[in-house]
Amino acid sequence: MASAPIIVWFRQDLRMTDNPALCAAVATGRPVIPLYILDQSSDGLRPMGGASLWWLHGSLESMGHHLQNLGAPLTLKKGAAKEVLGQLIAETGADTVYWNRCYEPGAIARDKAIKNTLQNDGLYAKSFNGSLLYEPWEIRTKQDKPYRMFTPFYRMVLSQGTPIQPLPKPKQIIPCDVPPKSDYLDDWSLQPTRPNWAASFPEFWSRGELGAQTLLSDFLNGGVAAYKTERDFPGVAATSRLSPHLHFGDISPRQIWASASTIEPTAGSETFLKEVVWREFGYHLLYYNPAMTTAPLQTKFNAFPWAKNDSHLVAWKTGQTGYPMIDAGMRELWATGTMHNRVRMVVASFLVKHLLIHWREGEAWFWDALVDADLASNSANWQWVSGCGADAAPYFRIFNPITQGERFDADGTYVRRWVPEIAGVSNQYIHKPWDAPKATLLEAGVSLGDTYPRPIVDHKVARKKALAALASIKQAD
């Protein structure tokens, strides 16, 4: 009698190498049904944004090819995961489901409910760690409490020694005799068409496992040496650009750590691995503070007098604030699905401190527009910039978009690329064109308020308002 198949339910682990759930299923010697469920409907789950869906299409397409080459086709299903799994089990006679864990609050609740249902029905379910170096419950303080500060968290991670080595790619997967019915990926319409706002994305990204491994190899053999000194300069290609690959699981943090450990240690590689741990810290915070996706970790900020200004919000989203560094970042986001990390901090600070618009508005826009939109990182980083999160930058630290530009984009390379209408302005005024003499602007073909907007707020006035707003909650506290 043939063995019942095992369903391997892929989620944020769209790869063959270092995939614990897949490797465990293959090791049983039983037939395997690789499954991906487009679950945008389960209670508590946050539907993916548009840029994430674009990325998902490419990663699923890549993984489907890999699975086909290993012998087992990818089954695609759309709907609530609990119902889809039940139907597939009935169709195939599968009695076991393996998956790698997700850590978003809605996913945790969904997975627990599914596991309980399967076990009550006499079936077997098992989950694995395929997304983190260490589980959130494995890194605790000496008082057995979760961490709220990054530096001691980082030290504790390093004290664990070398993370588990990545698992090899399976050599072969035994398929079912009769593969289950599958949706067609193109029928899911994950990629925009009319209008195709992602038309330029393929110029910047190669989605999928091979693209991730190539990016990592190129970075470790080139840019990582200068990473510490150059990563803050948006006009220089000095970052790894691995964040979307990590979110979708095209590559695992263990693969990154193991590969980085094979090169000669430098200040750059140490800083790079520290950023990998920063990602872990975001998941640690989310696991122990599931409300942080909408509520400030510092509760005094519940009383913060946020402003509502739709025209300012639209100007920020579309890169029309009149501040070149801000506008360059927001336009880079729209054109590429990403934004340089230094600029992310500056544009986020501008929204919450210059415009006094709630960080949740910015987080929602990033969720829809970023190819690396990640609930843990997005929430933790927005709260960090806003000054209301764990280990947060103090609220009174208000990034000056002019001096940030002059310091990190002194020659205007970044601004000129993304704000071409002021490309002719000299370095002296590229980050503050309103200070340029009229003759200088005329020569550069710039007419403020016409070809390029005037600043929507005055930096000094906005800073005073932000500090006054902070003082108001201090008094209330």
Asked whether the predicted pLDDT for residue 14 surpasses 90, the reply is yes
Whole-number mean pLDDT of the chain?
95
Token pair, residue 418, equals: 């993304």
- How high is the pLDDT of residue 476? 60
The reported pTM is: 0.96
Helix residue spans in 263-396 (DSSP H): 267-288, 310-318, 324-336, 341-349, 359-369, 375-386
Question: Which has the closest alpha carbon to 280: 250, 246, 306, 233?
Answer: 246
CA 51 to CA 396: how far, in whole Å? Answer: 33
Q: How far is CA 234 from CA 400, 408, 425, in A?
A: 16, 7, 19
- How high is the pLDDT of residue 101? 98
**336-346 per-position pLDDT tens digit:** 999 999 999 99
* Backbone phi and psi for residue 189, each to the nearest 5 degrees, phi listed first: 50, 50
Q: What does DSSP say about strands 6-10 and 96-100: parallel, antiparallel, or unpaired? A: parallel
CA 427 to CA 316: how far, in whole Å? Answer: 23
**283-302 per-position pLDDT tens digit:** 999 999 999 999 999 999 99
Q: Which residues contact 418 (CB under 8 A, 6 or more apart)?
A: 319, 327, 328, 329, 331, 332, 335
Which CATH number does the domain 299-471 belong to among 1.20.810.10, 1.10.579.10, 3.40.190.10, 3.40.50.720? 1.10.579.10
Question: Which has the closest alpha carbon to 25: 127, 137, 104, 166?
Answer: 127
Asked whether the predicted pLDDT for residue 195 surpasses 70, the reply is yes
Q: What would the CATH number be for the domain defined by 132-165+209-288?
A: 1.25.40.80
CA 354 to CA 340: how far, in whole Å? Answer: 20
Catalytic residue numbers, as ranges: 275, 278, 306, 341, 359, 382
Q: Which residues contact 449 (CB under 8 A, 6 or more apart)?
A: none
Give percent above pLDDT 70 in the chain. 98
- Mapping DSSP to helix (H, G, I), strand (E, B) and coil, where does residue 129 land? coil
Domain 6-130 superfamily per CATH: HUPs (3.40.50.620)
Task: Yes or no: say if 173 and 71 are a contact pair by the CB < 8 Å rule.
Answer: yes
* Backbone phi and psi for residue 126, each to the nearest 5 degrees, phi listed first: -145, 140
- How high is the pLDDT of residue 42? 80
CA 278 to CA 272: how far, in whole Å? Answer: 10
**36-74 per-position pLDDT tens digit:** 999 998 888 999 999 999 999 999 999 999 999 999 999
- Mapping DSSP to helix (H, G, I), strand (E, B) and coil, where does residue 450 land? coil
Token pair, residue 461, equals: 């006035």
**120-172 per-position pLDDT tens digit:** 999 999 999 999 999 999 999 999 999 999 999 999 999 999 999 999 999 99
CA 73 vs. chain centroid, Å, equals 28
Task: Yes or no: say if 101 and 129 are a contact pair by the CB < 8 Å rule.
Answer: yes
- How high is the pLDDT of residue 390? 83
CA 205 to CA 214: how far, in whole Å? Answer: 11
Question: Which has the closest alpha carbon to 361: 350, 398, 394, 103?
Answer: 350
CA 382 to CA 353: how far, in whole Å? Answer: 12
- How high is the pLDDT of residue 393? 64
Domain extent listing, the chain: 6-130, 132-165+209-288, 299-471
Q: Which residues contact 433 (CB under 8 A, 6 or more apart)?
A: 324, 422, 425, 441, 446, 448, 452
Question: In the predicted model, what is the mean pLDDT of residues 202-221?
Answer: 97
Q: What is the largest CA-CA distance in the chain?
A: 87
- How high is the pLDDT of residue 43? 83
Q: How far is CA 284 from CA 297, 375, 441, in A?
A: 13, 12, 50
Question: In the predicted model, what is the mean pLDDT of residues 462-473?
Answer: 93
Task: Yes or no: say if 136 and 288 are a contact pair by the CB < 8 Å rule.
Answer: yes
